[in-house]
Structure 1
Amino acid sequence: MSTLELGPLLRHVGTTTATIWVETSEACTVEVLGASAPTFQVCGQHYALVVVDGLEPGTCRPYEVRLDGELVWPLEGTGTPPSYLRTRTEVEDTGRLRFVFGSCRYPPTDDAELEASLGIDALDAFSVRLMEEVEATDDPSTVLPDALCLLGDQVYADEITPRTEQWIRSHRDPDDESGPGMEIADFGEYAHLYSESWTDREMRWLLSTVPTAMIFDDHDVRDDWNTSQAWRDEMASKPWWPQRIRAGLSSYWVYQHLGNLDPATRDADPLYRKVLEADGDVYDLLADFAGRADAEVGEPTGVRWSYRWDLGRTRLLMVDSRCARVLNENDRLMINDHSFAWIEENATPDAGEEVDHLLLGSSIPWLMPPAVSHVQSLDEWAAARGSKLAETVRQAVDLEHWPAFRASFDRLADLVRGVASGPDAPATVCVLSGDVHHSYAAEVRYPSPTRSRVYQLTCSPVRNGVPWFMEYVFALGWWQGLTSALARVAKAAGIGDLPMSWSPIGGPWFGNAVSTLEVNGRAARIRVERSGTRGGLEAVAELPLT
C-alpha cells in the first residue's frame, strides 16, 4: 500500500481549477475531489500533480487525498483543521486580497543549541494562528490568505542540519575528496532535504491550505550561486559539481517549479509531457534538461523559470534572478534579454485590461540601502576591470544584488517607471524580496511624478540569523551622508546617476519575520510581524501604501 510521503501542497489555483502536489512511497493513482492523476518516478521517488477542474469561482471547501482509493489525508491525530481549497473570484472582483511573503527558512532540527540560536519559526507561528482562526469561524474563506509567496532559500543545500549530517554519513563517506562533503550531492539527498523542511505539523498544514508560489535563491543550490563567471569557473573545476547542479535544478523542477505553473502552461511544456508519457524513471530526462538550463546561463536566451499569477485585478510576476543571468566578460545582466522581454510584456496591461496592483517577486531585493547600492555598483565596475580584490569581496560579502548588475537595475527602473506612469497605471507597483536577513519597506520617487506608488518590500528571514554587526551595516546604509559621498565616487568612476531615489518608510527590522500585503480595491497596506520568544507573532509595523 502506498503512503503519503510529503504534501499535499496546494499550488496554483484559478477560478475553476486547483493544483495539488504530492509525493508518495510507491507508484499509485492520486485522487482529490473526484480528479485523479498517476504518479511519475524520479530516482525511486514518486510524485503526482492532480488538477481539480470544474470548480465554482469564489468557493471554499475542505478536501481529502486518496491513494489507490485509500484515504491518506487528513492525517489522524495531528490536531489540525481540515485542508481547504478556495478558488479565485472572477477577474472583475476588486475585493480584498492578502499575500503572505517571506524567505530564508532554515528547517526544524533536533539540536537544542542550534534551535535556540535560530529562534521561533515565523511561518510556523503564522500557521498556528491561522489554524486557530479557521477553527473559530464558520467561513474559513474569510481568514485564509490568497497566496503564500516563498521568495527563496526554501531549502539549504549547503548548510545542512545535524540530523541530515548523520543521515548522509549513514549512506556515503562525506570525507571522500571527490564528493561535496557535508553538502547535498544528488537528487535523493535533495528529496531528503525537502522532506525535512516541509513535514513539520505547522508547515505541512499551511502548505496544504494556502496556494503557494515559490522561486529559488542561492541556497536552494549553493551560496553565491551564479554570482559571477569567476564563481562558475571555480565550481566547474570541482568533480562533484555537474551532478550537484543537475540534481538541484531537477529537484527544483519537481518540488517547486511544476506547481507554480497554471495547468495550460504546464500541459504545454514539452518536458512535462515527456515525463507523463515516460515508462519508468525519468531522472535522465530531468538531468539532461537541468544540464542545458545551467549551460545556458550567460546566453541571451535560456530556460524561463519566471511565471505569472493573476489574482483578481492584482498581478504577481515571480522573477528568476538566479538562473537567467548573463555573466560574460563584456555583458553582465541579472536577467537575459529573452526573459526580461517576457517580464516587460507581462508587467504591462493589455489594452482595456485593469490591474490595480502589480507585484514583482524577486528573491533578491531590487532596492538595497542606497549606500550599499553604490558599493555594489562600484564593486561591479572594479571587477569588470580585472580587480581580483573586487571579485573576492563580491563573493565574500554577497555583493550580487540588482545594483551589482547595474544595466539590469536601470532596465527594471525604466520598466517600473513606464508601468507606473501609463494611462492605465496600477495603484501600486511593489517589488517583494527576501535574502538579506532583515526586513524593510522603502518608497521610490522618480524625477517626474508617477501615477502609481512604487515600493520595495523586503521580508527575511522566516527562520535564520544575521551576524550582530550587520545590523549596524544595514542601518548605516541608509545614512544620507555616506550615500552622498559614495554617489560622488561612483560618478567619478563614470557610473551613471541613479534613475530614481528611495527612502525607508519602515525598518530595518531584524529577527524572524513574515509580512502580509493586503489590498482592497486600489487601497493597499503592509503588515510586518516577528516571532516572539513565546512562539506567537508580534506586529512591528502596519503601513498604508496608498
Structure 2
Amino acid sequence: MWRRTSRDLHARDTAPSPATGWLRAVRTSRRILLKGGVLTGAATLAPGSLTPVDLRSTAAATPFRDTPFSLGVASGDPLPDGFVIWTRLAVQPLADDGLGGVSPHSREIRWQVARDERFRYVEASGRAWTGPAEGHSVHVEVHGLRPGREYFYRFRTDREVSPVGRTRTAPDPASYPSSLAMSFASCAQLEHGWFTAYRRMAEDEPELVLHLGDYLYEYSPGTVPADSGNVRAHEGPETASLADYRRRHAQYKTDPDLQLLHATAPWVVVFDDHEVCDNWADEVPRTAASVPYFRDRRAAALRAYYENMPLRRSAIPRGLEMVAHRRLAWGRLATFHMLDTRQHRDDQSCGDGMGSCGAEQDAARSILGESQESWLAEGFAASTATWDFLGQQVPFARMDTSPTPDERLSMDSWDGYPACRDRVVRAWQDAGVRNPVVLTGDVHDHLASEVLSDWEDPSSVLAPELVCTSITSGGDGHDSDDGRYRWAEQNPHIRFWTDLRGYVRTRVTPDSVTADFRCLTGVSRPDQPAFTRASYVIADGDHALHQVSATPLSSL
C-alpha cells in the first residue's frame, strides 16, 4: 500500500462542482511511500525503458528535494485492453539543457493502474526506467484491462508520487456504445492567453480528447503579439535544438489547466506545423534561411514531441520520420482516422501564401503522401462504424477569403492540394462510408462547414466539417451576432463562424452527432466562463449540418 500526503500543484484551482468531486484527486499531488513488495503487471515499455540499466548509476542518483512530477501525468491512445500512461521528471522545468534539473542518471519509476482513485483495487502495476536519453520521460503501454472501463493511474520514484490521472479503455470492438463524449481542440499559444479552455473541457468530463495540432508554438518571446496583447512570455529563444524543444514543452506542461485536462481523460494527439516551425512541409521549411539546419531541427522537434506526449512506441521517431497517422475505434460506434498533413506533403505551391497560381492543380500533388492516402482508403473500405471521423489539421472544405470575385485560397490547406482532396472524397464514397465527418483545427475560428461535390452548389453536400477555434492563439477574438462568416457570399457552405477562443464538444450516438461550439468570454484574463455559442446536429445518414441553438456573446 502506498501512504499518501498532499502537495497542491495548482495555485489557480477553483473549487470543483459537486458533480465533479473526483477532480479533487487530480488537482492534488500525492507523495507516497512503497511499504514493500515487488510491483507486477502487464505492460509494454518504450525502448530505452527496456535497456539494461547500470544499477551503480541508479544508486548514484540523489533523492529529490522537490516534486519531480511538476509536469503532471497524461494518458492516451486507448485500446479495448489498455492505454498509454505518461509522465516526465522535472524539478526545474526551464533548465537550459532541457533536462528539467534532474541528475544525469537512470531512475526507476514505479506505476500503478487501479479501478478506484484510492488505489484499493490495483489492476496492473510495474516498473520502468528512464534517463537523459529519453528526456526523463516515461511511456508505459498498459495491457490486460477490461474494455469500456474507467481507471486511475499514478507513478512513484524515490519517495515522490505523482498526481493521479483518470483514463479509460476503449469499448469492446464488437460492442455498440450508446454514446461517446468527445471534445477536440487546437492552437494554444501560451503568450496569447490563459489556458482556461482546457479547464472548461475538463469540467465537461469528456471520455476522449482529440488535439489536432499546434499544441505549442516555437516563437521567441513576443514575436507574434495577440490582438488583445500578450499576457505571458515564452522562455528561451525560438526553438531549434532538442534542448529548446524540451524546455518549451516543459513550460507549457507546467500550466495547471493543461495538466488538469491531461489528467482527466485519454488524449489522441497529432501535430501540425508549430510543433516544429511555421508552415513546414516534409523537408522544406518556410524560409530559405532555415534550409541548412532544418533536417536537424525537424528531428529534434519530433523527438521532443514524442517524449512529451502519451504516444505508443510505434511513434518513436526514426531520424526524420515519425509515424503519426493511426486509427482508433470506439466499438462499432465510431472510428477515428488520425491524419498527418505535414511529414509527407508536397511543398506548398504558389509561394506558400494566400492565392492560387494554377500550380496547385497538379494531380500528382498530395498533402498526405501516397502511402498515407492508400492507408486511409483501406481504412474506409474496412470500416463498419456508424461514424468515421477524420482527425486532421488544416481546413478541408474550400475557403475563399477574397472580398472580390477573384479567389483567394490558402496554399497551406487542402485548397493547395485539390486533387488529393478529391481522391480522399472518392475513397469514402467508393467504400460506402456511412457518415464521414471531418474534424479540423489550425485557423483560430469556429466554423460549421460542409464539403461539397460542387463548390458553386450549396446543396451538393458530401460531409460536414467541424472546425475548432484556438485555445488562445490570436488573443480574445471577437464575435458577430448573426454568426455569419465574413466572406459568406463566396462560401455559402460555411454555415457558422466566430472568432472567439474555445473548443468543440461533441456527443456521438448511433443516431446523431451533436457539436457544441464552446467559447470563452476572453483569454487575456484567467478563469473566464465558457458558453455554447452555437450547437449543430448531424443526423445518421444526413451529411448536412442543422443548427439547433445560437447564443451570441452580446446576449450574455
Per-residue CA distance 1:295-352 (angstroms, 9 max, x = gap): xxxxxxxx542111111220001100111112399753211111111111112225xx
What CA deviation, in whole Å up to 9, does each residue of 1:343-375 have, x standing for no partner?
11112225xxx2010000111110143556999
Name the counterpart of 2:301: 248
Retained in 2: the 8 A contact 1:377–1:403?
no
Q: Give the Cα–Cα distance (whole angstroms) in 1 for the partners of residues 132 and 404 of structure 2.
A: 45
1:20-78 per-residue CA deviation (whole Å, 9 max, x = no partner) reads 0111246222312232242333457211112232222222233332225x45122xxxx
Task: Give the structure, 1 or 2, with the largest relative contact order (CA under 8 Å, sep 6 or more).
Answer: 1
Q: For 1:336 and 1:50, locate their aligned partners in 2 and report how far apart those are by CA, in whole Å.
A: 30
- For 1:415 and 1:466, locate their aligned partners in 2 and report how far apart those are by CA, in whole Å: 38
Partner of 1:309: 328
Q: Which residue of 2 aligns with 1:50?
A: 140
**Does the residue aligned with 2:107 lie in a helix, a strand or coil?**
coil
Q: 2:448 pairs with 441, 464, 468, which one? A: 441
Which residue of 1 is the match for residue 183 of structure 2? 100
Opposite residue 310 of structure 1, the aligned amino acid is: A
Q: Do 1:357 and 1:522's aligned partners in 2 also have CA atoms closer than 8 Å?
A: no
Cα distance between partner residues in 2 of 1:462 and 1:147? 17
Mapped to 2, the partners of 1:234 and 1:336 lie a distance apart of: 26
Q: Write the distance in 1 (CA, Å) between the matches of 2:376 and 2:248.
A: 31
2:534 aligned with 1:541, yes or no? yes
> Aligned AA for 2:85?
I
Shift of 1:446: 3.8
The CA distance in 1 between the partners of 2:419 and 2:196, in whole Å, is: 37
2:508 to 501, 512, 519: 519
The structure 2 residue matched to 1:335, chosen from 353, 368, 376, is: 368
In the alignment, the residues of structure 1 paired with residue 305 and residue 405 of structure 2 have an alpha-carbon distance, to the nearest angstrom, of 32
Residue aligning to 1:365: 395
Q: 1:64 to 1:469 in 2, by over 3 A?
A: closer
The aligned counterpart of 1:432 is 439
- The answer to whether the Cα contact below 8 Å between 2:344 and 2:367 also exists between their aligned partners in 1 is yes
AA paired with 2:373? F
1:461 maps to which residue? Answer: 470
Q: 1:376 to 1:226 in 2, by over 3 A?
A: farther
Hey, what's the Cα distance between the residues in 2 that align with 1:345 and 1:452? 23
C-alpha displacement of 1:153:
0.6
Partner of 1:393: none
Which residue number corresponds to residue 147 of structure 1? 208
- Which residue in 1 is equivalent to 2:199? 124
The TM-score, its normalising length taken from structure 1, stands at 0.68
Deviation at 1:228, TM superposition (A): 9.6
Aligned to 1:73: 162
Distance 1:260 1:373, change over 3 A: farther
Provide the rounded CA distance (Å) in 1 between the counterparts of 2:340 and 2:365.
15
Equivalent residue, structure 1, for 2:272: 217
Q: Find the partner of 2:168 among 72, 78, 86.
A: 86
Q: CA deviation at 1:251?
A: 1.2
2:478–2:498 CA contact under 8 A, matched in 1: no
Q: Measure, in 2, the Cα distance between the counterparts of 1:22 and 1:126.
A: 21
The equivalent residue for 2:111 is: 31
Which of the residues 78, 85, 100 maps onto 1:13? 78
| Matching residue of 1:319 | 339
* Separation in 2, partners of 1:311, 1:376: 43
- 3-state DSSP of counterpart to 1:399: coil
Superposed CA deviations along residues 141-173 of structure 1, whole A, max 9, x for unmatched, are xxx3221111111010125469997853xxxxx
Measured after TM superposition, the shift of residue 545 of structure 1 is 0.8
Q: Retained in 2: the 8 A contact 1:121–1:512? A: no
Give deviations 1:470-489, integer Å, cap 9, x for gaps: 999x9343214xx6xxxxxx
- Runs of 5+ in structure 1 lacking a partner? 75-81, 131-143, 169-181, 273-285, 294-302, 380-397, 484-501
Residue pair 2:440, 2:466 contacting (<8 A) in 1 also: yes
Q: How far apart in 2 are the matches of 1:63 and 1:260?
A: 16
Structure 2 unaligned blocks of 5 or more: 1-62, 90-101, 114-123, 223-229, 350-361, 540-556
Letter paired with 2:499? F
Partner-residue secondary structure (3-state), 1:210: coil
In the aligned structure 2, how far is the partner of 1:15 from the partner of 1:312?
A: 8
Task: Give the counterpart letter for 1:305 in structure 2.
Answer: A
Give the 3 Å change call, closer, same or farther, for CA 539–98 of structure 1 in structure 2: same
- Residue pair 1:30, 1:48 contacting (<8 A) in 2 also: no
Is 2:451–2:461's contact at 8 Å kept on the other side of the alignment? no
**1:40 and 2:130 equivalent?**
yes
Shift of 1:216: 0.9
Counterpart of 2:270, as a letter, is: I
1:208 shift after superposition: 1.8
Contact 2:348 / 2:416 at 8 angstroms: preserved in 1?
Answer: no
Return the TM-score normalized by structure 2: 0.67
Alpha carbons of 1:467 and 1:542: their partners in 2 closer, same or farther (altered >3 Å)? closer
Mapped contact 1:37–1:48 kept (Cα < 8 A): no
Give the whole-Å Cα distance in 1 for the aligned partners of 2:489 and 2:404: 12
Asked if structure 2 preserves the Cα contact closer than 8 Å seen for 1:429 and 1:452, the reply is no
Query: What residue in structure 1 maps to residue 552 of structure 2?
Result: none
8 Å CA contact 2:111, 2:156 repeated in 1 = yes
Shift of 1:405: 1.4
CA distance in 2, matches of 1:7, 1:120: 15
1:408-443 Cα offsets, whole Å, 9 max, x none, are: 122222223334xx2xx32x2111111101011113
* Alignment partners' CA distance in 2, 1:375 and 1:28: 64
Amino acid paired to 1:544:
V
| SS at structure 1 position matched to 2:365 | strand
Distance across 1 between alignment mates of 2:428 and 2:143: 35
Report if aligned partners of 1:365, 1:433 keep a CA contact under 8 Å in 2.
Answer: yes
Question: What corresponds to 1:479 in structure 2?
Answer: 489
Determine if contact 2:396/2:413 at 8 Å carries over to the other structure: yes
In 2, Cα distance between the equivalents of 1:187 and 1:14?
31
2-structure distance, mates of 1:374, 1:217: 30
Secondary structure class of the residue paired with 2:251: helix
Q: 1:450 to 1:53 in 2, by over 3 A?
A: farther
Say which structure is richer in helix.
1
CA contact (8 A) 1:321 1:335 kept: yes
8 Å Cα contact 2:500-2:521 kept in structure 1: no
SS of 1:530 mapped into structure 2: strand
Deviation string 1:250-298 (CA, Å, 9 cap, x unpaired) is: 1123223xx344xxxx4xx4x85xxxxxxxxxxxxx5xx333x3xxxxx
Per the alignment, residue 387 of structure 1 pairs with: none
- Seen in structure 2, the aligned counterparts of structure 1 residues 451 and 290 have a Cα distance that, compared at 3 Å, is same
CA distance in 1, matches of 2:404, 2:393: 20
Name the Cα RMSD after superposition. Answer: 3.6
Tell me if structure 2 keeps the 8 A contact 1:377–1:405: no
Cα distance in structure 2, aligned partners of 1:228 and 1:373: 34
Do the aligned partners of 2:277 and 2:285 also contact (CA within 8 Å) in 1? no
